[in-house]
A and B are shown apart, each in its own frame.
Chain A
Amino acid sequence: MTGLRYVYAVCRPFGTPLQAELRGVMGAPPALLHHHGLVAVVSTVPEADFCEDALKAHLEDLDWLAATARAHQGVVDALTTVTTPLPLRLATVFRDDSAVRTMIEAREDDFRRLLDRLHGRVEWGVKVYLEPGAAEPEPAAAARPASGRDYLRSRRRQSHEQEERWQRAERFAHRLHERLAERAEEFRMHRPQNAALSGSPGQNVLNAAYLVPRAHSEEFVELVDRTKDEEAGMRVELTGPWAAYSFSGEVSGTSSAEGSGSSSGAESGARAGAESGARAGAESGARAGAESAAGPGEGR
């Protein structure tokens, strides 16, 4: 056996067969591996690409990472149409079927508990952006500063306005989050996205995931929709429905974003490094692309 087993998700058995044309990572069709009353959704991947060294190298290759992530998501997404899958983290690979069975046996209690918890629920992603340069039309009449003192005064006013916009964005995001959290069973704060990486205009001030029963999803979506024009200069984006990725992590250690200090957490250190101090960046006004904001949920 030259192939390894890539595992996408664990589910309870479901009656509907997967679409015949569904393809997973590297084009292989996913299959169902039944064991102990659970189903692992797997496909075969070449050992040459998924042995540890090759995988490490591949993950640094953005095209490869993107293709693999999309293939993984494609399979998980197909599963959400027939069941509530428990998605695994990207690139979870086992030697063979029997190793997958051993894994299921070792974790079956966790799987069942999580599957019960997530049954019939989906994840919605909500992001809030402070639009670039919104709501600050310079009074065109006061064109050229008459003196150095005028210039400094206007500079001071501008940085003051900048700070006000920032605070307004945080208040808006916080209010929105509180309303959404009320309608959701759980939430997770993701780190705000770096504008250079996302390519989205504006400063991302909230990047949250909400766990919502399917039956209440329409209401939730409408609620988000209603807030879209509520405040000038703010942009609200909704993504989903997702399989409950953000709620499938370890029971402990997934909530580090909730109520912890804004820059704490060794786990977040890597990202924080690239998205250096948000507040400082915002206040300086001279913001480079590689900075981002700390979310309003990260208590301060």
Chain B
Amino acid sequence: MTVVERREIALVDLLDRLLAGGVVLTGDITLRIADVDLVRIDLNALISSVNEQVPSPFEELA
């Protein structure tokens, strides 16, 4: 498999899977942080780190 250079996995590729994929269970702690919340959280974190000037698109949801 020549194409698969083992570079460090890009964080966005990781988050596509870890925040949008995987089995969703209702844990003791995470019961309200499932699904949609996490998707919001990851973008929120990423956007604010990429550009402090970009206002959060989720403010109204807070």
Contacts and interface: CB of A to CB of B under 8 A. Distances in A.
Same complex: yes
A197 B12 contact: yes
B54 A94 contact: no
Nearest to B8: A70
Nearest to A257: B20
Point out which of A87, A90, A228, A266 has the most chain B C-beta atoms below 10 A from its C-beta: A90
Given A221-B4, A245-B21, A69 B43 contact: no
A261 interface: no
Q: Which 8 A-B pairs have the closest CB atoms?
A: A245-B21, A245-B17, A89-B22, A273-B57, A90-B18, A93-B29, A62-B49, A59-B41
Contacts of B4: 221, 238, 240-241
Interface in A99-142: 99, 103, 107, 110-111, 114, 123, 125
Interface string B2-46: 111000011111111111111111011110111110111111111
Interface string A31-58: 0000000000000000000111001100
A180 B40 CA distance: 30
Contact of B13 (A72, A239, A249): A239
Given A59-B45, A89-B23, A270 B58 contact: yes
